[in-house]
Structure 1
Amino acid sequence: MDSSKPQIGKAALWMTGAIASFSSMAIAGRELSVTHDTFEIMFYRSLVGIIVVSLVLTLSGTWHHVTTKRIGLHCVRNAMHFTGQNLWFYAVTVIPLAQVFALEFTQPIWVILLSPLLLGERLTTVRVMSALIGFAGILIVARPGAAPLSTGLITAALSAVFFALTTISTKKLTQFASIGCIMFWLTVIQAVLGLAASGIDGQIALPSAQTAPFLLLVGLAGLLAHYCITNALAIAPATVVVPFDFARLPTIAIVGMILYQEPLDQWTLLGAAVIFSGIFMNVHAENRNRLATLPGHQPNK
């Protein structure tokens, strides 16, 4: 639940776990794309999640934390995440991993812009400037007119919008729901959505000896990533937590170069750096404002 004093250091550690999890999931998602469509990946990922979450709830004796309170918000939150995650899985199969992550990094920009509408947070001048700098970074990565605006670029950018909406709704849920409750409904609701979507064409590819390990990895990594993010959001503001995720870019760029011979695109790296600078400016201002409100704080001369 929310703490009266943000715990930035602990939130950073939780986000480190999220970074490793999301990077692993990107690799597994690309390997699975040969056999499974994105809906099937989401379905099997959610089945793994249901087993793990149910086991944790049983061993910890916390099934009583799982309630249907605000189930509508749980459904909305997971429908938005389901949409964003499917767009993301598609993007990792058609454009370089570093490009996907660079565009996904615009998630904090959307959090900044949407938080005043959905969380009642104030839209300050610094936040507006941060958003403008972030969009400049998007233009550098996408380079409309200089490079073809592919479906992969569009889906990667759209996934960031849905992930931002997911982040905001998660922040709302942490005010009255336990992490176990949030994770349980995450897996159950998205399993239903995944089954319905993957079965529309009347065909659902079953796991094979080759795909089963990657499906297990996607399920565990996705669950761990959300567990880490939910813990981080429970102890620090969304506009502070999300920027820690930027450490993923150099990691995934190197992985893409080694595993898939993807070149280190200078425009992608430059655009991501511009996006990061905008978000960092906002984070710095947020931290400075919080320090100024602490009792006995002496401003720098």
Structure 2
Amino acid sequence: MTASAVLFGFMTVTIRLASKQLHAFEIAFFRSLFGFVFALPLLLRHGPGLLRTDKWRFYVLRCCIGIVSMFAGFWAVVHLPLAQAISLSYATPLFVTIGAVLFLGEVVRLRRWTAVLLGFVGVIVIVRPGAADFSGASLIALLAAAMSGTVAISIKYLSRTEHPDAIVLITTGLWVLLSLPGAIPVWEWPQGWAWLWVVLAGGFGTIAHLLWTRALKLGEVSALTPLSFLQLPVVIVFGYFLFAEKLDLWTGVGAAVIVGSNIYIAHREARLARPVVTDSRVAGETAS
């Protein structure tokens, strides 16, 4: 999870570097294209059978939502300070909690709802609607977080029957096709260093995604969630030295509130899940 967070931070930095020449939508296409190239070894490892699924329609719907999230997220990274864009992306688990209630029928009790509300207070602190320095790009970042929350719910649904590597490979391949129409109207062939940045964006993104899925498979969410926020200090450091961006007070305070609420939500989910795991183990031992 640590390596995943750091690599996602590197991906964010390469997106901003590529934006000196390329439009955010074109960067999203190249991130998908080269991300798919980096994911192809999964096909060699598992064979063509990895692509067999009866959920193609669901994959397409999930990837259409994912493209909206990607375009909005890349737009935010290009037009907002990196720290602010990443801090707002941490609103995703808040939307996941709401979506889990609406679409998965999960029961969320008062403490988690309180954490969600506090998280959105942190969002308001960062966005500061009505303030002189309010930017409409922050609303685009929130759109990306909301769509990403929907994608996370779809992954949770798919992971019940689909192999994690299949989800990564099929998703990345569909992203290539779905991102191309948005890139064509703003197309400009990369020149010089821009090629390196878009290749690295694809590589960092895919490898980080694979590490993230492995981490969640091996460890508890409550223990891993704090590590995922290491992306923020990475972009703060690179934002300062490469783009002369400083972390402002309101973004820092809002990010702390959002991160704290997310850690609490993950902690509560883990605690509520443990009795179920324990009961199933007891039942298994009794049966044996």
TM-score in terms of structure 2 length: 0.88
1:231 to 2:214 alignment:
yes
Structure 1 residue matching 2:160: 3-state secondary structure: coil
From the superposition, tell whether residues 206 and 146 of structure 1 become closer, same or farther in structure 2 (CA, over 3 Å). closer
Alignment partners' CA distance in 2, 1:236 and 1:210? 38
RMSD (CA atoms): 2.3
Shift of residue 39, structure 1, vs aligned partner: 2.2
Tell me which amino acid in the other structure corresponds to 1:186: T
1:183 to 159, 163, 168: 168
Alignment partners' CA distance in 1, 2:217 and 2:154? 12
Shift of residue 238, structure 1, vs aligned partner: 7.2
Q: Is the 8 A contact 2:9 2:232 kept in 1?
A: no
Residues 134-213 of structure 1: pairs in structure 2 closer than 5 A = 134-199=119-184, 201=185, 204-213=187-196
- Give aligned pairs, total: 280
From the superposition, tell whether residues 173 and 242 of structure 1 become closer, same or farther in structure 2 (CA, over 3 Å). farther
Match of 1:274 in 2: 257
Match of 2:267 in 1: 284
From the superposition, tell whether residues 247 and 55 of structure 1 become closer, same or farther in structure 2 (CA, over 3 Å). closer
Match of 1:216 in 2: 199
1:125 to 2:77 alignment:
no
From the superposition, tell whether residues 285 and 61 of structure 1 become closer, same or farther in structure 2 (CA, over 3 Å). closer
Q: Is the 8 A contact 1:98 1:268 kept in 2?
A: yes
1:83 to 2:68 alignment:
yes
From the superposition, tell whether residues 186 and 259 of structure 1 become closer, same or farther in structure 2 (CA, over 3 Å). same
From the superposition, tell whether residues 238 and 194 of structure 1 become closer, same or farther in structure 2 (CA, over 3 Å). farther
Match of 1:45 in 2: 31
Tell me which amino acid in the other structure corresponds to 1:63: P
Q: Deviations over 1:35-76 (max 9, x none)?
A: 221222122222212322223311x14321212420111112
Q: Is the 8 A contact 2:226 2:263 kept in 1?
A: yes
Q: Is the 8 A contact 1:84 1:163 kept in 2?
A: yes
Where in structure 2 are there 5+ consecutive unaligned residues?
283-288
Tell me which amino acid in the other structure corresponds to 2:213: T
Alignment partners' CA distance in 2, 1:103 and 1:183? 24
1:31 to 2:31 alignment:
no
Shift of residue 105, structure 1, vs aligned partner: 0.7
- Higher-helix-fraction structure: 2
Alignment partners' CA distance in 2, 1:49 and 1:180? 13
Tell me which amino acid in the other structure corresponds to 1:204: W
Alignment partners' CA distance in 1, 2:23 and 2:222? 33
Q: Percent identity?
A: 29
Q: Deviations over 1:118-154 (max 9, x none)?
A: 2221121122101110011011111222344312211
Q: Is the 8 A contact 1:109 1:279 kept in 2?
A: yes
TM-score in terms of structure 1 length: 0.85
Match of 1:56 in 2: 42
